[in-house]
Structure 1
Amino acid sequence: MVDVENTGPGPWWSRRWVVVAAVLLSAIPLIYPQIPPLVDLFGHMGRYRVQLDIGNSPWLRDYYGFHWAAIGNLGVDLLVMPLGRLIGLEPAVKLIVLLIPPMTAAGFLWVTHEVHGRIPPTAFFAIPFVYGHPFLFGFVNFALSMALAFLAFALWLRLGRLGRTRLRGWLFVPISLVIFFCHTYGWGALGLLCFSAEAVRQHDRGIGWLKAGWYAALNASVMALPLLVMLAWRSETHGGNTIDWFNWSAKWRWVEMALRDRWKSWDLASVAICGIVLLLALISSLLGLFRRIGQRAKLTFSRNLAFSALVLAAVYVLLPRIIFGSAYADMRLVPYAIAVALLAIRFRAPAPRLGTVLAVLGLGFAILRIGSTTASLAIASDEQESRFPALDHLPMGARVVTLVGDPCGGYWPLPRDSHLGAMVVVRKQGFSNDQWVMEGLNLLDLRYGTAGHFAADPSQRVRREGCAVGPLWSINQALALVPRQDFDYLWLINPPPFDETLTEGMKPVWRGPRSILYRLH
């Protein structure tokens, strides 16, 4: 038995033109910015410049090394190679990143169509989660892998519904490899989604849950080949801890921050709105269980996607915050788990008025969230573009130490300038102190070791006096210890108040909005 109830022509909100419009709507926030102002993206772009030009740049060869390896974190890195040479690095990055939200939205809507037989009116509440916290933080390989995972999951559901399980098995061997090399997380999420959906499909055929789970695992095992690649990958690396399990306060914060962007009240209210929608569907579903007059609940849940949402929620609870040195491992799952729960809501016809109300509210919510994200990214892009003229004052190959003001705790807007210094690498093939040097997690090596503490991330992040914690220094401490003989320039971006005597002997060569560039010698 397939978990599809609705057949025949659908209402207006499930028409093709509405679905296409919703998918295209999700691309709007990234059209205006020349470079998508995502927190970590600038740092990744520095790595892309190295991989593209290290062979013909004497400066990059002095500062960095680069080696290709079969790791589960290569999505945008691989796409940039042909596109970057064809249209240039910055346009290539914009094009790739621009495609991720509509691909994710298309995956969401295709999944819900396969499960429900048509698009339920509540599905539009899930669209804003394509701009969830992980995407806006710039986890682009991860976000690309999740977009592909949802598209692949929809294909898995379709082939299962059509009884083409043998074809599905053959197709998902290469599909799983592609998504794994894009990012390990997307491959893992795809496996969980497919396993949970297949377990429900097997159970609907009259098989007990235990045997259904066994058959589901067998069917999903066609995606197990990347395990061998991952074992070889991890056996060759030694760095990176897996720590911070069951941090309940952090896990609750990640739920609150599922749509974190710029305006805290609106971001929190948006998550709460989706929570209310889920609660109303749950109440309606529970009330329907106790009705004795033959009237069914107008809102209930697909067993298929509801089970998938529960599986994702359970994995979220079990995941630590840091896996193999990669932070925010659990946080990344939250927006997608909420989206799957929203996609699981089933609307039972006939109730055209209620359906229209829900569709209008869902589309209205999506339009408002996309609108606020568009405004937020436009503001961030304008602020960053106002600082890029500093790069015009740098020679090729310049060694630049960047210090970016990092807010103290409780600050809500995303710190979008944290890796802005990497534009020194992107446009000047120079050295910037904000690259990640983490064994087994990316392909970049550091050769300019004389920079000491100021060789890599997070040395670029500084805080005001009295607020520095852990690896983050105060701005005065950093200014006092910058090895001037090992750098050519100092670039301050959004600096907190500092002791100006610490910049004596430095020559200001450019000033901009909350930014200043000094020549050191």
Structure 2
Amino acid sequence: MKAAPAKHLHWWEQRWFVLALVLLSAVPLLLPDVPPLLDLPGHMGRYRVQLDLADTPALQQFFAFEWALIGNLGVDILVELLAPLIGLEPAVKLIVLSIPPLTVAGFLWVAREVHGEVTPTALFAVPFAYNFPFLFGFVNFALSMAFAFLAFGLWLRLARLERLRLRAALFVPLSMVVWVTHAFGWGTLGVLAFSAELVRQHDRGHHFVVAGVRAAVHCLALAPPVALMLAWRSNAAGQTVDFFNMEVKLDWLTMVLRDRWELFDQVSLGIAVLLIGWAMVSWKLVFSRNLAASALFLSIVFVLLPRIVFGSAYADMRLAPYLFAVGLLAIRFPEGSSLRFMRWMAVAGLAFVLVRTGAGTVSAALYDREFDRNLAALDHVPEGARLVSFVARECRQPWAMNRMLHLPGLAIVRRAAFSNDQWTMEGAQLLDVHYRAGRPFIRDPSQIVTARRCGGEVWRPLSLALATFPREAFDYVWLIDPPPYDPALAEGLREIWRDGDSVLFAVER
């Protein structure tokens, strides 16, 4: 019996092309020595404490750190493994550099399993790996979402091959890995897996109610982290508030590609929205019912999620970019579609990827220049210094957010100095600050200052911060691009470094 001829693969389906897309997604982060993500320098300060606290008396006078099993440890664990081998900063760069490629690989694997091919329209989802939550610096979350999409690709593949017992066995430990990386990724994986299994069971002839029950049974392999979640949160503090704030949710939806240039980012999002809308009304494009169901379920979760969960803000915002990514991945071409049309769509998708990647590379390089300019101040800070930092922000952030709000965290990394930018949320962070002499300037957001009082916000105006911080508790004051202030407030502070408006003062006794 003659074997069936192999299916001809178009250039956008070839393995070399898919691999090239995955590797291309790392390009924007190749140049910066510290990936310029807003919260990342603060996280790096915590990594230095977790690695060196036991052997560094300077850190011991400021910080405490105690390991615990929580659903927010992805990069922390990888740093623990890699930093002793290659150093903290190279380890962080390597880990963060890997997140976009892993995300893209997950996106394209899901498209391949659902459609039987990497569709040209799937290329439009690739730039969503550089989404606003990732650029905000939610690195554990972003890594967990990359793992979730990779795991979802495996879930779909094993279902297609009818390897359901193997799938159940594999996803018990895999669900634990995703949860430990970040609980949000585990929750997303559960939604994706349930919606896909629901459609599969319905396609096998079961009524939707029966299909739902059977899908829930199959998803029990993802349930073990529930026990960990209950143990984690049973004693955790923090409110869960701000439900159904639709005005804010709509704002998040418009910001999913937010980076530096508002018009460019909004036009890019508009292209993705138009493509999804076109697929809804055109006979030239259709949706996979599998991924359409996933997009619907994720949208319901997005609406139901509050803005703050267990004291952690931006809970709903984090999911928003993946709604668009799944919607784009769901699009495919009906049987008999014009090859010419598919080629043109593939070229358009590739152009979209290249333009967004090029812009992201330039943006990251510009932020890296700002980082380097201000980090020169640390050359004048001795080991173990008691440093208080004040970083300017506006009451209403411009589209290009100030990514230096946690730059002082690198003083911990490079000088084992005190920094007042660390988070100390019970149940969400393993680090604690016990430097009582510096109160109330010892934790986030005491490092954030404004030109004037912002209604309803806790940030201090710079004038108030300079007038009230306890001078006997600190050796140095670092102002990063500060707003204008009365020079009289700097009396008793000796300037030892300056670049533009940024300045490092020594506190004179």
TM-score range, shorter chain: over 0.9
Q: Is the 8 A contact 2:453 2:459 kept in 1?
A: no
After TM superposition, the structure 1 = structure 2 runs for residues 204-215 of structure 1, keeping only pairs within 5 Å, are 204-215=203-214
Partner residue in 1 for 2:323: 337
**What is the deviation of 1:20?**
1.1
- From 392, 403, 415, give the equivalent of 1:416: 403
- From 349, 355, 370, give the equivalent of 1:383: 370
Write the distance in 2 (CA, Å) between the matches of 1:385 and 1:362. 34
Q: Is the 8 A contact 1:386 1:513 kept in 2?
A: no
Partner residue in 1 for 2:287: 301
**What is the deviation of 1:87?**
0.5
Write the distance in 1 (CA, Å) between the matches of 2:500 and 2:208. 62
Partner deviation per Cα, 1:355-409 (whole Å, 9 max, x = no partner): 0111111110111111111100100001111111111111110111110001221
**Structure 1 length as normaliser, TM-score?**
0.95
Partner residue in 2 for 1:324: 310
Write the distance in 2 (CA, Å) between the matches of 1:168 and 1:415. 44
Write the distance in 1 (CA, Å) between the matches of 2:288 and 2:394. 43
Q: Is the 8 A contact 1:436 1:457 kept in 2?
A: yes
After TM superposition, the structure 1 = structure 2 runs for residues 189-268 of structure 1, keeping only pairs within 5 Å, are 189-237=188-236, 239-268=237-266
Write the distance in 2 (CA, Å) between the matches of 1:513 and 1:282. 52
Partner deviation per Cα, 1:45-72 (whole Å, 9 max, x = no partner): 0000000000100011110000000100
Partner residue in 1 for 2:61: 62
Write the distance in 2 (CA, Å) between the matches of 1:179 and 1:420. 28
Partner deviation per Cα, 1:94-153 (whole Å, 9 max, x = no partner): 000000000000000000000000011110100011000000000000000000100000
Write the distance in 1 (CA, Å) between the matches of 2:220 and 2:248. 33
Write the distance in 1 (CA, Å) between the matches of 2:332 and 2:9. 14
Write the distance in 1 (CA, Å) between the matches of 2:280 and 2:45. 47
Q: Is the 8 A contact 2:453 2:460 kept in 1?
A: no
**What is the deviation of 1:513?**
3.6
**1:315 and 2:301 are equivalent in the alignment:** yes
SS at match of 1:260: coil
Partner residue in 1 for 2:355: 368
Write the distance in 1 (CA, Å) between the matches of 2:469 and 2:381. 19
SS at match of 2:345: helix
SS at match of 2:256: helix
Write the distance in 1 (CA, Å) between the matches of 2:455 and 2:35. 29
Write the distance in 1 (CA, Å) between the matches of 2:486 and 2:345. 56
Partner deviation per Cα, 1:236-257 (whole Å, 9 max, x = no partner): 32x2111111111110110010
Write the distance in 2 (CA, Å) between the matches of 1:405 and 1:34. 23
Partner residue in 2 for 1:128: 127
Letter in 1 for 2:185: G
**1:481 and 2:468 are equivalent in the alignment:** yes
Partner residue in 1 for 2:185: 186
Partner residue in 2 for 1:438: 425
Partner deviation per Cα, 1:399-449 (whole Å, 9 max, x = no partner): 111100012215111220000011110101111000001000010011112
Count of residues in correspondence between the two structures: 502
**What is the deviation of 1:469?**
4.1
Partner deviation per Cα, 1:284-321 (whole Å, 9 max, x = no partner): 1xxxxxxxxxxxx3310000000000100110000000
Write the distance in 2 (CA, Å) between the matches of 1:165 and 1:465. 60
Q: Is the 8 A contact 1:39 1:416 kept in 2?
A: yes
**1:459 and 2:446 are equivalent in the alignment:** yes
Partner residue in 2 for 1:288: none
Write the distance in 2 (CA, Å) between the matches of 1:108 and 1:513. 43
Letter in 2 for 1:333: L
Partner residue in 1 for 2:275: 277
Q: Is the 8 A contact 2:71 2:183 kept in 1?
A: yes
Partner residue in 1 for 2:3: none
Q: Is the 8 A contact 1:404 1:493 kept in 2?
A: yes
- From 388, 395, 412, give the equivalent of 1:425: 412
Partner residue in 2 for 1:504: 491
SS at match of 1:262: coil
Give the gaps of 5 or more residues in structure 2: 1-5
Write the distance in 1 (CA, Å) between the matches of 2:389 and 2:250. 33
Write the distance in 2 (CA, Å) between the matches of 1:260 and 1:509. 36
Partner deviation per Cα, 1:157-197 (whole Å, 9 max, x = no partner): 00000000110000000000001000000000000000000
**1:392 and 2:391 are equivalent in the alignment:** no
- From 467, 491, 505, give the equivalent of 2:478: 491
SS at match of 1:403: strand
Q: Is the 8 A contact 1:113 1:119 kept in 2?
A: yes
Write the distance in 1 (CA, Å) between the matches of 2:69 and 2:122. 37
**What is the deviation of 1:466?**
4.6
**1:406 and 2:405 are equivalent in the alignment:** no
Letter in 2 for 1:281: A
Write the distance in 2 (CA, Å) between the matches of 1:151 and 1:513. 45
Partner residue in 1 for 2:457: 470
Q: Is the 8 A contact 1:493 1:515 kept in 2?
A: yes
Write the distance in 1 (CA, Å) between the matches of 2:47 and 2:179. 20
Write the distance in 1 (CA, Å) between the matches of 2:229 and 2:453. 43
Partner residue in 2 for 1:81: 80
**Structure 2 length as normaliser, TM-score?**
0.97
Q: Is the 8 A contact 1:387 1:513 kept in 2?
A: no
Q: Is the 8 A contact 2:70 2:232 kept in 1?
A: yes
Partner residue in 2 for 1:291: none
Q: Is the 8 A contact 1:462 1:468 kept in 2?
A: no
